[in-house]
Amino acid sequence: MDKCLKIAMFGHKRVPSREGGVEIVVEELCSHLVERGFDVTCYNRAGHHVSGAEYDQERSKKYKGICLKTVPTIDKRGLAAVSSSFFAALICTFGKYDIVHIHAEGPAFFSCLPKLFGKKIVVTIHGIDWQREKWKSGFGSKFIRQGEKNAVKYADEIIVLSKGVQEYFKNVYDKETHFIPNGISRPDIRSAKIIAEKFGLIKDSYILFLGRLVPEKGIRYLIEAFKNVKTDKKLVIAGGSSDTDGFMKELKELANGDDRIVFTGFVQGQILDELYSNAYIYTLPSDLEGMPLSLLEAMSYGNCCLVSDIPECAEVVENKALLFKKSDINDLKEKLQDACCHPEKIALLKQDAADFICKKYNWDDVVEQTVALYRRTK
């Protein structure tokens, strides 16, 4: 039965891509589904990489057995997601698919189209997106909120990535959802070569943040806290801007005067592997998360992690990491200072991080549960 099941995916930007956690998850999920005999098509946006055209990759029709199709896209902030999702939904409506799997609340706005023509719909909610700072008002907020409502109304099944979001859908919509978190695979650990040459970074010489540079990630708090930490270690902020360079400029102005703070820009490939492999600690000071894939990645490389105490982070790390009070710059500073002064504590947390996270969130389990959900919709 699995071999003839045809799945369409949309809602992500592009596959393959590291433009965000959604893109990484979609690529992993699709490649695992293909390995199990599913026929999978991903509908990609046209246009440039969100961090700049220099990061564009050559487009192909196949990747890891996944069929890739590019849909018409209005390549402007706020319109790219809407336009590409509309065209993807329209094509899926008339395509020969058994399941249309939509990722994120905004794209779910168009779930009504394939549903009205008899398609089975699965929606993955990667987070309550209308709460993000850039979507808190105006058309974007209304569109995403309606997408959330349309997911409740039209989806045959809804997947959520955290218990908190599961409770949200139950409380607000009296809607039962399926908690299927993201997965992670054990990576290869790399020595510091390129990052030593390019940024002067060696093993355990830096504290790492790696992710999209957007306000809800708490990077302002991190810079303000770190500037008051007495240490020779550097703070490496790795990631590209999302949609606009304005926030990146704000962060660089905030960091001005502290030579220990390094901005790498968007990273991928070997540089990304080296950054994760050689960090002293990884920190994620977010105010808002869906399920933080970068946190899973960091722990899979054996990192000690320092994260905000929001449920989405605390659920992931349990007692295997350090926590600070969300949005509390002073508490973050104290936790950073303590970490820098007590390497034995950091070493202890590093010991179990990779085994813990790879066992708790493995892709085989994620795919097994997703496949069971697909079968349930048939």
Q: Taking all residues of the chain, what is their mean pLDDT, rounded to a whole number?
A: 93
Domains of the chain: 2-183+362-377 (3.40.50.2000), 194-360 (3.40.50.2000)
Please provide the size of the chain in residues.
Answer: 378
Please tell me the chain's helix, strand, coil percentages from 3-state DSSP, rounded to the nearest 5. 45, 15, 35
The tens digit of pLDDT for each residue in 105-151 reads 999 999 999 999 999 999 999 988 777 766 666 787 899 999 999 99
Mean pLDDT of 22-27: 94
pLDDT, position 140: 79
Give the global pTM.
0.88
Q: What is the DSSP letter of 131?
A: G
pLDDT, position 1: 42
- What's the CA gap between 47 and 72, in Å, rounded? 9
Per-residue b/e over 167-190, b at no fewer than 16 CB within 10 Å? ebbeeeeebebbebbbbbeebeeb
- What's the CA gap between 358 and 364, in Å, rounded? 11
pLDDT, position 304: 98
Mean pLDDT of 318-336: 98
pLDDT, position 290: 82
- What's the CA gap between 107 and 88, in Å, rounded? 9
Residue tagged 């070493």 (tokens): 347
Find out whether 284 and 217 touch, Cβ atoms under 8 Å: yes
230 Cβ contact list (under 8 Å, min separation 6): 337, 340
51 Cβ contact list (under 8 Å, min separation 6): 19, 240, 241, 242, 265, 266
**Helices 329-341/219-226 angle, 10° precision:** 60
The answer to whether residue 179 scores a pLDDT higher than 70 is yes
- What's the CA gap between 225 and 18, in Å, rounded? 28
The answer to whether residue 3 scores a pLDDT higher than 60 is no
As a whole-number percent, the residues of the chain with pLDDT over 70 amount to 95
As a whole-number percent, the residues of the chain with pLDDT over 90 amount to 82
The torsion defined by the Cα of 269, 271, 274 and 280, in degrees rounded to 10, comes to -130
pLDDT, position 127: 85
pLDDT, position 136: 63
The tens digit of pLDDT for each residue in 48-86 reads 777 666 666 778 899 999 999 999 999 887 788 999 999
pLDDT, position 173: 97
- The letter for the amino acid at 226 is F
pLDDT, position 2: 47
Q: How far is CA 291 from CA 21, 313, 368, in A?
A: 9, 7, 19
